[in-house]
Amino acid sequence: MVKARKEPVNAVQVFGRKKTATAVAYCKRGKGLLRVNGRPLDQIEPKVLQYKLQEPLLLLGKEKFAGVDIRIRVSGGGHVAQIYAIRQAISKALVSFYQKYVDEASRKELKDILTQYDRTLLVADPRRCEPKKFGGPGARARYQKSYRLSSRVRLRFLFYGSAGRILWFAVR
């Protein structure tokens, strides 16, 4: 019995990130399937951000995606951050697939189209949430300071008039 030699799978694996959301895209030759956590793109929630997911497809055209299958696993972050991580993973997957298995000229063309529209399609946003510090309610904001008499401090005021009588008395 002669074993048939399998031809090597032409595939790339890339990731997209936004805040704490991470999307890992696995791109290989195929029929144009695009799935996120096993579901097609049009079933991804929230529906309001559906257009954001479609941006790489609309910019580059469906014919660029016709010869590849892209499977994406996404985890972490919120709904919006996951959407942005997915769209970045889709864009990076196609660009790196074209670089590795097609040709450099078409990769440059794809990259130029994507960066001209929105740089975050290929480059991750480095901003992260800054940790809270003491002395305030957040990372930068400080607790309010009052120059008036504080309710925590107990003070007594006694003012004596000319005849030795108490004119004013305050206890806090």
Cβ(12)–Cβ(100) under 8 Å? yes
pLDDT at 163 over 90: no
> What is the helix, strand, coil percentage profile of the chain, to 5?
35, 25, 40
Rounded CA gap, 56 and 114, in Å? 7
Cβ pair 63, 55 in contact under 8 A? no
To the nearest 10 degrees (0 to 180), the angle between helices 79-101 and 50-60 is 20
Q: How far apart are CA 11 and CA 37, in angstroms?
A: 18
Q: What is the pLDDT of residues 29-43, one digit of tens each?
A: 999 999 999 999 999
Residue 5: what pLDDT? 75
Mean pLDDT value across the chain:
88
Measured between alpha carbons, how far is 12 from 67 in angstroms, rounded to an integer? 14
Mean pLDDT of 136-146: 94
pTM of the model: 0.78
Rg of the chain over CA atoms, in angstroms? 30
Give the model's pLDDT for residue 159: 55
Distance CA 90, CA 24 (A): 9
Report pLDDT digits (tens) over 31-74.
999 999 999 999 998 899 999 999 999 999 999 999 999 999 99
Each domain of the chain, given as residue ranges in start order, spans 11-121
Per residue in 8-32, pLDDT (tens digit) is 888 999 999 999 999 999 999 999 9
pLDDT above 70 covers a percentage of the chain that reads 85
Percent of the chain topping pLDDT 90: 74
CATH code for the domain defined by 11-121: 3.30.230.10
Give one DSSP letter per residue of 81-110, joined into a string. Answer: HHHHHHHHHHHHHHHHHHHHHS-HHHHHHH
Mean pLDDT of 135-152: 85
For the segment 83-89, the average pLDDT, to the nearest whole number, is 97
